[in-house]
Chain A
Amino acid sequence: QVQLVQSGAEVKKPGASVKVSCKASGYTFTSYYMHWVRQAPGQGLEWMGIINPSGGSTSYAQKFQGRVTMTRDTSTSTVYMELSSLRSEDTAVYYCARDIEYSSSWSLYNWFDPWGQGTLVTVSS
C-alpha cells in the first residue's frame, strides 16, 4: 500500500537547521509531486512548498523563501525538507503529503493523499 514514513522528532536550538526526511513506498516515486505542510501546536495547516521528485524542481511559499530547501533522492524514494535559521515559531509538526492530480472534463484537480505521520520539530534554547 502507498505509505509515507517520516524521520523522528528533532530538538534544535535557535539559529540551527533541521532536515526532515519522508520515504515513499508502494508507488512510482517519480510520478507524483510531494508537498510539505506544517502545523504549529494547536494551530492550523500551513503549506510550505512542493517538489517534483522526477526532476527535482521546487516551488516554495513566499514565507519560507530563502530558509527552506526541498530535495529528493530517487535511489531511496525519499524527499527531504531542510529549514534553516530556526526560531521558536518554527516549533511544529511537519508533514509530507503526496499530490494527486485528476483530470475531469476541462479541469485539473489536485489534493493530498496520503500524508506522512508527521515529524515534531521543537526549537528551544
Chain B
Amino acid sequence: EPEVTQTPSHQVTQMGQEVILRCVPISNHLYFYWYRQILGQKVEFLVSFYNNEISEKSEIFDDQFSVERPDGSNFTLKIRSTKLEDSAMYFCASTPRLNNEQFFGPGTRLTVL
C-alpha cells in the first residue's frame, strides 16, 4: 500500500542553523501539507501546497519557513534559522483531493539545541 515517507526520522541541530525536512508524498496525490506537533500539545497546521504553490499558510509559517517541490516526488520544508521553540515533531501529509482523508508520514522529530 502506498505511503508517505519522511526523512530523517530525527534531526538534531544547533540554534541558528538551517534544516531541511524531506517528504515523499503518495505519487498520485495533488495536495501536500506540513503540520507540527510540539511534545504534549495539539497538532498545528503550517502550510498547504497545491499546483506548485502555497495555497494556505498559518501564522507560524513566517519568513523563516519555506516549502518546495523540487521534482515530481519530493516535498521539502526548510527552516532557515532554527530557534529553540522550533523543536517539535513535523508531519507531512498528502491527499488526492480536498476534504479527503489526509495521509500522514511517520514524522520527523526536530530537536534544536
Tell whether A pairs with B: no
- Chain A positions near chain B (C-beta within 8 angstroms): none
- Chain B positions near chain A (C-beta within 8 angstroms): none
